[in-house]
Amino acid sequence: MRAKHVIDRNWDLKKFVTYVRETFRISWKEIYWKVWSYLNLIRCDRCQEYYPIAEMGNCRHHPEPPRIKADGIYEYKCCGETMDVYKVLNGAKGQSGC
């Protein structure tokens, strides 16, 4: 399923940024870098697709976290790729993931 983008003519950037600042009590610097990370794209070395820097920690290839297959071995349900517990704990995404 793919998201469909629709223009919201009532949306106001200034109101949104002010709301975020007041609601979450974050600095202007943090707001700037968060917005910057969503506006700037980089290309994946494996699949050559562009994605926002803010999504860098998310793996597009493995939509779900790995599950325990055997003692110390984890498996990604989507493709069957296996990984040892130390790689999982260190945040590795797997060889076939992006």
Tell whether 61 is covered by a domain.
Answer: no
The residue segments making up the domain with residue 51 are: 13-55
Identify whether the C-beta of residue 67 lies closer than 8 Å to the C-beta of residue 80. Answer: no
- Predicted pLDDT of residue 44: 76
Tell me, yes or no, whether 35 lies in a domain: yes
Tokens 């600042």 locate to: 21
- The reply to whether 71 falls in a domain is no
The total number of structural domains that make up the chain: 1
Domain assignment present for residue 97? The answer is no
Q: Quote the tokens at residue 31.
A: 């707001």
Low-confidence ranges of the chain (pLDDT < 70): 1-3, 46-47, 57-62, 86-98
pTM over 0.75: no
Q: Kindly state whether residue 8 falls inside one of the protein's structural domains.
A: no
Specify if 79 maps to a domain: no
